[in-house]
Amino acid sequence: MTIAVGDKLPDVKLIKVGEGGPEPVQAAEYFAGKRVALFAVPGAFTPTCSAKHLPGFVEKAAELKAKGIDEIACTSVNDAFVMSAWAKSSEAADVTMLADGNGEFAKAADLVMDGSGFGMGLRSQRYSMVVNDGVVEQLNVEAPGTFEVSSADYLLGKL
């Protein structure tokens, strides 16, 4: 069953991209005690993700924080090294990259898409959510092939 507003996030291991290299973190530990704007993309360096999704959150970081967001995080079914390179090339210092290399978080939240037709295998659906102390406060899942409800602008409008 797909995760919903009011649900606790699944407590699986993610890899946080840090200055000192990849750092394993449990989702429950990472999201505890803070309000996080989390967005997911099907893949780092993919067209919509790189041209619109990530740049929108980079551009709107200060506005999100002014509306009570403590941290902005991005997750994708990519390894931590790809996520790190993507953050650097996108100048995304205000966004914490959470690699879900094995897709465990996407699967546990039941937010998986099949990108096999594009040679991508199983990936995360595109979405945004607000997570407050590990609990989903807001969830905006995109229909396949769209980019409307998971943007930083849309999320800001709902805060």
Within a domain: 1 = no
Q: What is the pLDDT of residue 122?
A: 80
- The answer to whether 133 and 42 have CB atoms below 8 angstroms apart is no
Q: What is the pLDDT of residues 41-75, one digit of tens each?
A: 988 887 776 778 899 999 999 999 999 999 999 99
**10-residue averages of pLDDT along the chain (159 residues):** 94 92 95 97 80 89 97 95 91 94 95 79 88 97 91 95
Rounded Cα distance between 152 and 138, Å, is 13
The single residue of 15, 38, 41, 49 carrying the catalytic annotation is 49
Residue 96's domain spans which residues?
13-158
Within a domain: 101 = yes
Active-site residue, 74 included:
no
Q: What is the pLDDT of residue 21?
A: 86
The pTM assigned to this predicted structure is 0.93
Within a domain: 6 = no
CATH number, domain with residue 87: 3.40.30.10
Burial class (CB in 10 A: 0-12, 13-18, 19+), 56: buried
